[in-house]
Structure 1
Amino acid sequence: MTVLPRAPSRALGVFVSPGGRVLRPVAKGAAMKRLLFALVLALPMLAGCARPPTRLTIGVRNANDHVPFFLADDLGYYQSAGLQADVRIFPSNTELVEAARRGEVQLGAVPAPSAVAAIAHGAPLVIVAMTGRGSDALLVRADSGITDLAGLRGRRVGTIRGSILDLLLRQSLQAAGMDADRDVQIEYFSQLGDMLTALRSGQIDAASHTEPFLTQAEQEGWGRILLYYTHDWPDHPCCVVFARRDLVERQPELVEQVLRIHARAVDLAVADPLAAARAIGSRMKGFDLAVIQASLAPDKMRIDDHLEAREIERLAEAMYAQGLIERLPGRDEMLDLRFLERLGR
């Protein structure tokens, strides 16, 4: 007699196989709960895959010590971190600071005095890192006969008002026993190129200038570097990284992410000066690659992200003493160094 397989006993919630083995299926309710639980666990991963990249505008200048931003952009560091970063070059520090004040720029780099002055005047910015040191000096014509700072007495010296070049010029003259407003004739310019043209043509006798223009003038034979300002302030801060205060408060993890990328690019620029020179040369036209690479020499400047609070306070105090700012901001108003501390920088 043929034995037919038993029909499932739905009342008991069991099935019997043709071999007589009792099978206990999972109840529909329990199966559905497990499925829903798995979906909930998967949602963050699915959302991460579909999340659009974070948009960010980073403002910089055409300057040697802004090269970490150039490298990070060229090598896709921001993109690989899920950031859609627009690294935008501004023609002047004033325009960059104003764009940041309006919220068009969220992070960026400017000379330290520009950042301090902006904060002193109420801009919602805070300094979060360094990007370069040194690179500034006094340049004279090779045939000028000027051999030291004393030779500048009564001469016309060019600089940019309120800039790092202005501050360091005044400090070096003071260290030499001279007063910038009494012992020399200060001529203010708004563009570095115009100042260099004025020096070469004899309209001024010296220029407070920066790299790679200094090295180019010497290699072309018409200029001579009289004094690097590191002579009076070794390893002085040049350009700093700033962030809008609302970004720091609302998205501190994003600021830390950008600074992690910045640190990586700083390390690359230090380890590979040729790569750094190429990144600068692709943006600063009119300079030979060899000139740019020579201008990055350690005795002239240093790419760096580390920052000590006291050096910015010292800079702000000097600005206040020289009348470059009317109010002296406090440490917490100017600086937020917790991100560098977290990164071990």
Structure 2
Amino acid sequence: MMGFLLGMVLCLLIPFLGGGQVLIAIRTANDHSPFYIADKLRLYEKEGIEARVLLIPSNTEIVEGLKRKQFQLGAFPITTAIAAIAHRVPIKIVAMTGRGSDGILVRRDSGMKGLKDLVGKRIATIRASILDVLLLYALEEEGIDPKRDLRIFYFMKLGDMISALKTGQLDATSNTEPFMTEAELSGWGKILCYYTAFWKAHPCCVVVAHKEFIERSPHTLQKILKVHVEAVRYANDHPEETAHIICEYMKGFDPGVVLESLGSQKMSISYEVYPDEVMRMAQLMKRYGLIEEIPPQGELLELGFLKEVTR
């Protein structure tokens, strides 16, 4: 744990490190729990890997760190990965971390019962994020025109959207777990829907690796993915312990709230990723004007290592 905290302080000061040390940049999210577990239980160390897990404030900073070879691996939403690769950041998707967990949050007293009740309302999201793409897709599926039928406001942070919703500045927000469950259990929020109602088990966050690391350290990458699979299985087999570990790394949340937010009807921790779903997400991003061109499947994915460790 001390190494994790030290890593947060030093992450922007450390140049690319070769040799046996691997820097893994992640965020605060339920489905990043496999990395919290691997760090907490010293699974990398047990596999003979010198790895440092770094908690980074934003997806943009992780992308920039990967571009500068500051990190060898990272985890962030699949949309962030696709956009980065479309802009020629030298990374590839090597595994999944989670599915579902995203949806629409409203106030309990809103009277809204479904997506069609959003017509004429104010809804917030984070531009070009997974929350943006899935919101637009859900609206499209319900025949709602986002430009004509409602007003979309763009924020930078999940917490700011929650605050604006709670105080009545917004009518809804496209958000994620455990923030939505916390709002609902606090008594003021209501989860209007999960996007899994429109795309079953949709991909959320993925693991990416720098191309140079893939080429130069294939055996180390395979060991890291072996640990990742082990940590995913631990998360699914030990939900209560996982909730407590998440709370150690995501300060300010109650373990009971996090445990509730990990329910199978809300999300799943997973390592499996399928080419078809990645291409489907890329096609949606192009349709909504978030990328100009769809990268070839071979540029987006490197799944051979994951297949080896899950045989």
Identify which of 89, 96, 99 aligns with 2:55: 89
Equivalent residue for 1:126? 92
Equivalent residue for 2:4? none
Identify which of 298, 315, 319 aligns with 2:285: 319
- SS for the counterpart of 1:88 is strand
Identify which of 51, 65, 75 aligns with 2:31: 65
Gaps (5+ residues) in structure 2?
Answer: 1-17
Identify which of 229, 233, 236 aligns with 1:270: 236
Distance 1:65 1:335 in 2: 20
Equivalent residue for 1:101? 67
- Which amino acid is 2:130 matched to? I
Distance 1:72 1:83 in 2: 11
Equivalent residue for 1:300? 266
Q: How do residues 234-245 of structure 1 correspond to structure 2 at under 5 angstroms? A: 234-245=200-211
Distance 2:148 2:20 in 1: 52
Identify which of 162, 166, 176 aligns with 1:196: 162
Contact 1:53–1:83 (CA under 8 A) maintained in structure 2? no
- SS for the counterpart of 1:248 is helix
Contact 2:49–2:220 (CA under 8 A) maintained in structure 1? no
Identify which of 147, 150, 153 aligns with 2:113: 147
Equivalent residue for 1:8? none
Q: How do residues 322-333 of structure 1 correspond to structure 2 at under 5 angstroms? A: 322-333=288-299
Deviation of 1:135 (Å): 0.3
Matched, 1:178 2:156: no
Matched, 1:226 2:202: no
Distance 2:21 2:213 in 1: 12
Deviation of 1:233 (Å): 0.2
- Which amino acid is 1:196 matched to? I
- Please say which structure displays the higher CA radius of gyration: 1
Q: Deviations over 1:12-32 (max 9, x none)?
A: xxxxxxxxxxxxxxxxxxxxx
Distance 1:154 1:261 in 2: 48
Gaps (5+ residues) in structure 1?
Answer: 1-51
The percent identity for this pair of structures is 49
Range 223-232 or range 181-190, more displaced: 181-190
Deviation of 1:53 (Å): 7.8
Matched, 1:259 2:225: yes
Q: Looking at both structures, which has the greater relative contact order when contacts are Cα pairs under 8 Å and sequence separation is at least 6?
A: 2
Matched, 1:76 2:42: yes
Moved runs in structure 1, 4+ residues, more than 4 A? none
- SS for the counterpart of 1:59 is strand
Equivalent residue for 2:77? 111
- SS for the counterpart of 2:97 is strand
Distance 2:250 2:96 in 1: 21
Deviation of 1:289 (Å): 0.7
Distance 1:327 1:90 in 2: 28
Equivalent residue for 1:15? none
- SS for the counterpart of 1:143 is helix
Deviation of 1:74 (Å): 0.5
Distance 2:40 2:307 in 1: 27
- Which amino acid is 1:81 matched to? E
Contact 1:53–1:84 (CA under 8 A) maintained in structure 2? no
What TM-score comes out, normalization by structure 1 length?
0.84
- SS for the counterpart of 1:266 is helix
Distance 1:183 1:162 in 2: 20
- Which amino acid is 2:218 matched to? P
Equivalent residue for 2:174? 208
- Which amino acid is 1:334 matched to? L
Range 78-87 or range 199-208, more displaced: 78-87
Equivalent residue for 1:46? none
Deviation of 1:286 (Å): 1.7
Deviation of 1:198 (Å): 0.4
Deviation of 1:340 (Å): 1.5
- SS for the counterpart of 2:60 is helix
